[in-house]
Amino acid sequence: MAKIKINTSDEPIRLFKSDLLEFFTHISPIAILVIWLPVVGIFLFLSITSNTSLSILFAGFVLGLFFWTLAEYSLHRFVFHFPAKTPWQERLSFLFHGIHHEQPRIKTRLVMPPAVSIPLAAVFFGLFYLFFGLIFSLQLWISPVFSGFIFGYVIYDMLHYSTHHISMKKGYLRLVRQQHMHHHFQTPNMRFGVTSPIWDYVFGTMPKE
């Protein structure tokens, strides 16, 4: 995705002619907490009621957080910023992420709508079930890993919203906000990590300066 001219209008760009479809392109960050924090709690509860040891519960949750950072980077780089080559691909790219780069301060388009996040969550749960449950027969790891993964997603959406609307001037929060603002306004094809720059260093998408 090349550099995009910023649209400073406070009026959101309309994406669909249908009022129903357009409605689903807007979401409050509060909705993310209402939808996904119970999911985190449910899968932790399932772990506890399955007699999962505290060590597996803790290690699985942390592993899920780690997996989220890689998923966040990969989705941002390879899905949201995929190089569109045809008009329909350009349209899809704009719907996925280009709209956010063109209007980065529209509050109702700073977190992932459920129409996208729920199918993605189902895909990742399926991957964890396949990897831990079917391949390695580690069924007790599925719930804590998925719980940590979803909690990582919640942190991502809340932090992403905050980078655009809250002045974070100290410590790690200042660092991630600075990196994300550079992504938007200086290097849109680099700095894909939002909650962590680690994978940008690993895969060479952090500028040398």
Rounded to the nearest 5°, which phi and psi values hold at 118?
A: -65, -50
68, 156 contact by CB (below 8 A): yes
177, 193 contact by CB (below 8 A): no
Q: Render pLDDT for 8-22 as a digit per residue (tens, 0 to 9).
A: 777 999 999 999 999
* pTM, to two decimals: 0.93
Average pLDDT of span 135-158: 98
Residue 161's closest CA among 96, 111, 89, 87? Answer: 111
Q: Is the pLDDT of residue 3 over 90?
A: no
Q: Render pLDDT for 21-63 as a digit per residue (tens, 0 to 9).
A: 999 999 999 999 999 999 999 999 999 999 899 999 999 999 9
User: Which band of pLDDT confidence, cut at 50, 70 and 90, is reported for residue 7?
Assistant: confident
